[in-house]
């Protein structure tokens, strides 16, 4: 028997363990990247929602002004003497 004889079972298990550890590490890193990107997308969506609400408020204010002006014009047309 030689002291330097290879141990195929030990090498095989070491390879399996190293592969599992590397896969777990890669999964963890990928999970962090995905989570970071999703956080960024969430922040952008929140900003868009705030802008949409502000624009909706401005649009409603313009609609009120137009309605008021249309009411004044329609009211004045009703008071004008006809030919």
The secondary structure of the chain, three-state, reads CCCCCCCHHHHHHHHHHHHHHHHHHHHHHHHHHHHHHHHHHHHHHHHHHHHHHHHHHHHHHHHHHHHHHHHHHHHHHHHCCCC
The predicted structure's pLDDT at residue 1: 44
- Assigned domain for 21 exists: no
Look at residue 11 and tell me if it is in a domain: no
Q: What predicted TM-score, i.e. pTM, was given to this entire model?
A: 0.53
Give me the number of domains the chain comprises: 1
Residue 32 belongs to what domain range? Answer: 28-76
Confidence of residue 56 (pLDDT cuts 50, 70, 90): very high
Residue 17, in any domain of the structure? no
Residue 43 included in any domain: yes
Model confidence pLDDT, tens digit, residues 4-37: 555 566 788 898 999 999 999 999 999 999 999 9
């Amino acid at each position: 028997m030689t002291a330097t004889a290879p141990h195929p079972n030990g090498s095989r298990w070491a390879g399996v363990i190293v592969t599992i550890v590397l896969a777990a590490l890669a999964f963890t890193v990928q999970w962090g990247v995905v989570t970071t990107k999703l956080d960024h997308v969430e922040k952008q969506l929140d900003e868009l929602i705030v802008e949409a609400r502000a624009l909706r408020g401005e649009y409603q204010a313009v609609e009120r002004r137009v309605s008021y002006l249309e009411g004044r014009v329609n009211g004045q047309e009703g008071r004008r003497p006809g030919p």
